[in-house]
Chains A and B, each alone.
Chain A
Amino acid sequence: MNNSFTLEYHKKELPKKLNIVGLTLFLVGLVIIIFGYIVNPVRTAFNNIILLTFLISLGAGSLFLIAIEYVAGAVWSTPFRRVPEILSFALVIVPIFAVPLFFNLHNVFEWTHPQAFKNDVLMEAKAPYLNTTFFILRSIAFFAVWIFFFILLFKNSVKQDFTKEQLLTKKNIIISAVFLPIFAFSLSFSSFDWLMSLAPHWYSTIFGVYYFAGTVLCALAASTIIIVLLNEKGYFVDGLGGDHYYSLGALMFAFINFWAYIAFSQFLLIWYANLPEETFWFLQRWEGNWKFVSIGLIFVHFVVPYFALLSQPSKMDPKRLLFISIWILFAHIYDLYWMIIPTFSKEGIIFGWIEIGFPLFTLGLLIMLFVLISKKINLVPIGDPKLKRGIDFKL
Chain B
Amino acid sequence: MSVVDYSQELSVIEGRPPLRSIDELISKPLDSKPDKKFYIALSITLTMLITGVICLAFTFYYGIGLWGNNNPVGWGFAIINFVFWVGIGHAGTLISAILFLLRQKWRTGIARFAEGMTIFAVMTAGLFPLIHVGRPWLAGYLFPYPNQHSLWPNFISPLLWDVFAVSTYFTVSLVFWYVGLIPDLAVLRERAKTKIKKIVYSIFSLGWRFSNRHWQHYERVYLILAGFATPLVLSVHTIVSFDFAVSILPGWHSTIFPPYFVAGAVFSGFAMVQNVLIFVRKIFNYEHIITVDTLEKMNKIMLVTGSMVGYAYIMEFFIAWYSGVPTETFTFINRAFGPYMWAYWIMFSCNVIFPQLFWIRKIRRNIPAMFVIAVLVNVGMWFERFVIVITSLSRDFLPSSWAYYKPTLVDLGILLGSFGFFFTWILLFTKALPVVSIAEVKAVIDGSQPSHEAD
Contact = CB atoms under 8 A, between A and B. Distances in A.
Interface in B308-326: 311-312, 314-316, 319, 321-326
B433 interface: no
Given A122-B323, A181-B307, A395 B103 contact: yes
B5 A124 contact: no
Interface residues of A, number: 51
A270 B103 CA distance: 36
Interface string A360-386: 000000000000000000000000111
Nearest to B98: A254
Contacts of A171: 1
Interface stretch (A54-62, A79-87, A200-208, A295-303): A200-208
Contact of A268 (B242, B322, B326, B359): B242
Nearest to A209: B259
Interface stretch (A35-43, A94-102, A162-170, A348-356): A162-170
B180 interface: no
Nearest to B235: A261
Given A204-B255, A206-B256, A277-B323, A185 B311 contact: yes
B1 A170 contact: yes
Given A166-B6, A266-B255, A275-B248, A188 B315 contact: yes
Q: Secondary structure at chain B's binding surface: helix, strand, loop or mixed? A: helix
Contacts of A170: 1, 3-4
Given A209-B256, A269-B246, A167 B3 contact: yes
A199 interface: no
For A122, A124, A395, the residue with the greatest tally of chain B CB atoms inside 10 Å of its CB is A122
Interface in B215-268: 231, 234, 238, 242, 245-248, 253-259
A5 interface: yes
Nearest to B158: A272
Interface in A185-216: 185, 188, 192, 203-209
A208 B315 contact: yes
A262 B238 CA distance: 10
A275 B247 CA distance: 10
Contact of B311 (A184, A270, A395): A184
Given A129-B322, A185-B311, A269 B1 contact: no
Contact of B255 (A129, A206, A386): A206
A203 B318 CA distance: 10
Contact of B259 (A169, A184, A262, A275): A262
Nearest to A74: B102
A273 B253 contact: yes
Contacts of B324: 121-126
A3 interface: yes
A384 B6 CA distance: 9
B193 interface: no
Interface residues on B, range: 35 or more
For A1, A166, A209, A257, the residue with the greatest tally of chain B CB atoms inside 10 Å of its CB is A209
A320 interface: no
Nearest to B317: A205
A126 B320 CA distance: 11
Interface in B329-345: 329
Contacts of A208: 315
Interface in B262-296: none
A316 to B, nearest CB: 15
A389 interface: yes
B7 interface: yes
Contacts of A261: 231, 234, 238, 258-259
Given A170-B1, A188-B315, A395-B103, A205 B258 contact: no
Interface string B402-420: 0000000000000000000
A4 B7 CA distance: 9
A129 B231 CA distance: 37
Contacts of A275: 248, 253
Nearest to A171: B1
A129 B238 CA distance: 31
B452 interface: yes
Given A203-B319, A205-B316, A261-B234, A385 B6 contact: yes
A265 B1 contact: no
Interface string A166-185: 11011100000100010011
Interface string B5-16: 111010000000
Contact of B322 (A177, A203, A265, A392): A203
A388 interface: yes
A126 B322 contact: yes
A389 B253 contact: no
Contacts of B259: 206, 209, 261-262, 265
A314 B159 CA distance: 39
Interface of A: 1, 3-5, 73, 75, 121-126, 129, 166-167, 169-171, 177, 181, 184-185, 188, 192, 203-209, 250, 257, 261-262, 265-266, 268-270, 272-273, 275, 277, 384-386, 388-389, 392, 395
Given A206-B258, A385-B6, 20 more contacts: A4-B7, A122-B324, A177-B359, A181-B307, A185-B311, A203-B319, A204-B255, A205-B255, A205-B316, A208-B315, A209-B256, A261-B258, A269-B242, A269-B253, A270-B255, A273-B245, A273-B247, A273-B248, A386-B7, A392-B452
13 contacts: A75-B9, A124-B324, A125-B324, A169-B3, A205-B256, A205-B316, A209-B256, A250-B101, A266-B255, A268-B242, A268-B246, A273-B247, A386-B6
